[in-house]
């Protein structure tokens, strides 16, 4: 099970969210809490089997997606990312359990489960394109939450949120493509794997521009 534990952690909430459409409205809260609790327990279990004395990433999985351009489904965690995944699981569980009476609570819980999938995927991804996909996918449930349960200006807020975040993400994507190209120039092979990028020696001027690109994407999202 440890061979695929991260993929289970990533996609279990989304699968449960799909199944949630057939759950009775009166039972959806209990269902959502149960799913979120299972996710939290799995994340905690991963923490207990994590080897704190080992360096590098653990529980890694890799599946080739577009080998020609070095794009692969690669996931793994270190102590920091695993701790953040546990926090995401914990707050999702608390968030669903503490939901008050609200309209369309079934859709709200299903949306939160999909959002959890993107959060765990972001912090487990070790391929820049896979990270970017999870990063952008998180826009969908967030836009729906703002647009469906926001205040009087919720549609305006949703559009503004999308435009700002998407613009920042495009700048970050340019930085990722540059990193992959720089790796190609240095090695003759394409790669979007973060662990490969760590071995690159970047000129200081490149570092500054890349920092600006990634900072813009992250700062706008925050």
Question: Does position 173 have pLDDT exceeding 90, yes or no?
Answer: yes
Q: CB neighbours (10 Å) of residue 102?
A: 11
Question: Does position 192 have pLDDT exceeding 80, yes or no?
Answer: yes
Q: Give the mean pLDDT of 121-146.
A: 93
Q: Give the mean pLDDT of 195-206.
A: 90
**Which residue is associated with the tokens 């979007």?**
192
Residue 56 pLDDT level (bands cut at 50, 70, 90): confident
Pick from 69-73, 101-105, 148-152 the range whose average pLDDT is largest. 69-73
Residue 166's pLDDT is 85
Q: Please state, for a pLDDT cut of 70, what percent of the chain lies above it.
A: 99
Structural tokens at position 205: 């001027």
Question: Does position 49 have pLDDT exceeding 70, yes or no?
Answer: yes
Q: Give the mean pLDDT of 116-136.
A: 95
Residue 2's pLDDT is 66
Question: How far is 111 from 50, CA to CA, in rounded Å?
Answer: 30
Question: Does position 102 have pLDDT exceeding 80, yes or no?
Answer: no
Question: Does position 155 have pLDDT exceeding 60, yes or no?
Answer: yes
- Taken in order 33, 35, 38, 43, is the CA torsion positive or negative? negative
pTM, two decimal places: 0.90
Residue 161's pLDDT is 87
Question: Does position 162 have pLDDT exceeding 90, yes or no?
Answer: no
Axis-axis angle for helices 154-187, 204-221 (nearest 10) = 160
Question: How far is 78 from 123, CA to CA, in rounded Å?
Answer: 10
Q: Give the mean pLDDT of 115-138.
A: 95
Contact in structure between 112 and 95 (CB atoms under 8 Å): yes
**Which residue is associated with the tokens 């952008």?**
136
Mind listing the pLDDT tens digit for each residue in 3-24? 789 999 999 999 999 999 999 8
Helices assigned H by DSSP within the chain:
5-19, 28-49, 79-97, 105-124, 128-137, 139-149, 154-187, 194-197, 204-221
Question: How far is 191 from 204, CA to CA, in rounded Å?
Answer: 21
Residue 147 pLDDT level (bands cut at 50, 70, 90): confident
Structural tokens at position 176: 């990722």
Residue 1's pLDDT is 56
């Amino acid at each position: 099970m440890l061979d695929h534990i991260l993929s289970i952690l990533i996609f279990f909430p989304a699968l449960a969210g799909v199944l949630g459409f057939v759950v009775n409205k009166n039972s959806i809260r209990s269902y959502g809490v149960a799913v979120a609790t299972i996710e939290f327990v799995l994340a905690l279990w991963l923490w207990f089997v994590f080897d704190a004395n080992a360096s590098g990433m653990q529980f890694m999985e890799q599946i080739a997606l577009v080998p020609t351009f070095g794009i692969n489904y690669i996931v793994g965690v270190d102590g920091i990312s695993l701790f953040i995944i546990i926090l995401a699981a914990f707050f999702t569980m608390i968030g669903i359990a503490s939901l008050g009476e609200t309209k369309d609570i079934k859709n709200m819980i299903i949306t939160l489960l999909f959002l959890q999938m993107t959060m765990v995927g972001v912090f487990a991804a070790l391929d820049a394109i896979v990270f970017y996909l999870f990063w952008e996918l998180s826009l969908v449930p967030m836009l729906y939450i703002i647009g469906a349960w926001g205040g009087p200006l919720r549609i305006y807020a949703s559009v503004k949120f999308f435009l700002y975040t998407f613009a920042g993400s495009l700048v970050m994507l340019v930085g990722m493509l540059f990193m992959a190209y720089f790796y190609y120039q240095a090695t003759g092979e394409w790669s979007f794997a973060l662990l490969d990028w760590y071995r690159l020696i970047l000129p200081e001027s490149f570092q500054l521009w890349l920092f600006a690109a990634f900072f813009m994407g992250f700062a706008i999202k925050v």
